[in-house]
Amino acid sequence: MFDFAILIVGAMLLIAYANGANDNFKGVATLFGGGVSDYRKALWWATATTLAGSLAAFFLAGNLIAVFQGNGLVPSFLVHSPAFLMAVILGAALTVFTATKIGMPISTTHSLAGALIGGGVAAVGFNLTGATVWQSFFLPLLVSPFLAVALSAAAYPLLSAALRFAGVDKQTCVCVGSEVVPAAVTPEGYVFSHASTGLRIIVDQPGRCVQRLAGTMFGFDVHRLIDYGHYFSAGAVSFARGLNDTPKIVALGLAGGTLNLSWSIGVVAVVMALGGLLNARKVAETVSKRITALETDQGFLANLVTSGLVIFASKWGLPVSTTHVSCGALFGIGAASGQARWGVIRTILLAWVLTLPFSAVSAGLIYLLLSRVALA
């Protein structure tokens, strides 16, 4: 039993690390993509707010623990089977690590759901509860991204109209100034130069052009207000992600009887944070830069939609994917603004489609292997 406890804890920490690497940056992707923050500052903000959400899960997200222990989905004896638990955790972790390696933002929720089903089929055949599979897993996972797309696509024109009504418009900045031209360099390294008499105008690539909101509201600079709101909304998304994802990972460790609830949440929260700090860069580039061009008001709106949906789902024990919701909100913004990069979006959607069968097959094969070596 002691060896089994070590294996379960190790596997739980493995998927917590993978989850942090693939998911932690998604909450602040709009800060980085919209030029509001650099990568390092956005990453630390994501880490702090995700950690806060993970710790809040102890009080607010207990229903998700029961869902992801497989209650009602597989026979009760299987929920406490060492081989089954190891197969589910490792199958999901393998899926998330693979996606992170190639920079694809996929859902840990989706991976765990697939692994639960694949491990269950390998253990007891197709005697799973179909109603539970549909209501507890697939329905929330399918509906949430479409809802995020619809809400963000509908809300963006309303936000734009509200800004115009308030007298706020968008201005693009270029660099204008005198150019210093080196005239001569001495052997000692001194440079003699003179300033040109004309003006130098620098216009960068469209993707790097900085656009600001020009105007005031109640005496405050609108652009600065939205930047502050953008930071707050990004923190809310990261908080919601920690709140929603931590119980899913903790559930499997609790099912094995290896850790109590308090220690499980604390350990998972810390390891998720480490995964994000050390291995988030590839997924960060995909979500921040490749889905759609972003401006600060667009990112702010996408984060409001994401955080609202995920916090609501966590409260009611619905296993939605923060990845699906946050990317869905970006898809909607891109569609509404006409700047969506559909080739990248199609690739991400394909990765989502493949997540469930990949994790299910992985977990099923791992269960068959472990059961042969008498871990069950």
Count other C-beta atoms under 10 Å from residue 142's C-beta: 13
| Residue of higher predicted confidence among 65 and 42 | 42
Q: What is the mean pLDDT of residues 176-202?
A: 47
- pLDDT (tens digit per residue) in 103-137: 999 988 889 888 988 988 888 887 665 555 555 55
- The string of pLDDT tens digits covering residues 262-300 is 777 888 889 999 999 999 999 999 999 899 888 777 888
CB 210 within 8 A of CB 28: no
Query: What residues have CB less than 8 Å from 328, skipping those under 6 apart?
Result: 144, 145, 146, 147, 148, 149, 152
pLDDT at 359 over 90: yes
The per-residue pLDDT for 220 is 54
pLDDT at position 374, please? 57
12-21, 205-214, 291-300, 336-345: range with lowest mean pLDDT: 205-214
Average pLDDT in the 6-34 region?
88
The percent of residues in the chain predicted with pLDDT above 90, rounded, is: 29
Q: Judge whether residue 342 has pLDDT over 60.
A: yes
Which pLDDT band, with edges at 50, 70 and 90, does 308 fall under? confident
**pLDDT at 316 (0 to 100):** 72
Q: What is the pLDDT of residue 8?
A: 79
Asked if residue 351 has pLDDT above 80, the reply is yes
Q: Name the residue with higher pLDDT: 113 or 168.
A: 113
The share of the chain scoring above pLDDT 70, in percent, equals 69
Residue 370 reports pLDDT greater than 80: yes
Residue 218 gets the label, from left (phi > 0), alpha (psi -120 to 50) or beta, of: left
CA distance 46 to 236: 9
For residue 181, pLDDT over 50 is answered with no
Average pLDDT, the chain: 78
Q: Report residue 225's pLDDT band, with 50, 70 and 90 as the boundaries.
A: confident
Question: Domain ranges in the chain?
Answer: 2-168+223-372, 174-209
Measure Cα distances from 145 to 101, 109, 325, 326, 338 in Å.
23, 13, 5, 8, 19
pLDDT tens digits along 62-107: 555 655 555 555 666 676 788 888 898 899 999 999 999 999 999 8
What does the pLDDT read at residue 209?
Answer: 47
Among 8-17, 133-142, 171-180, 305-314, the range of highest mean pLDDT: 8-17
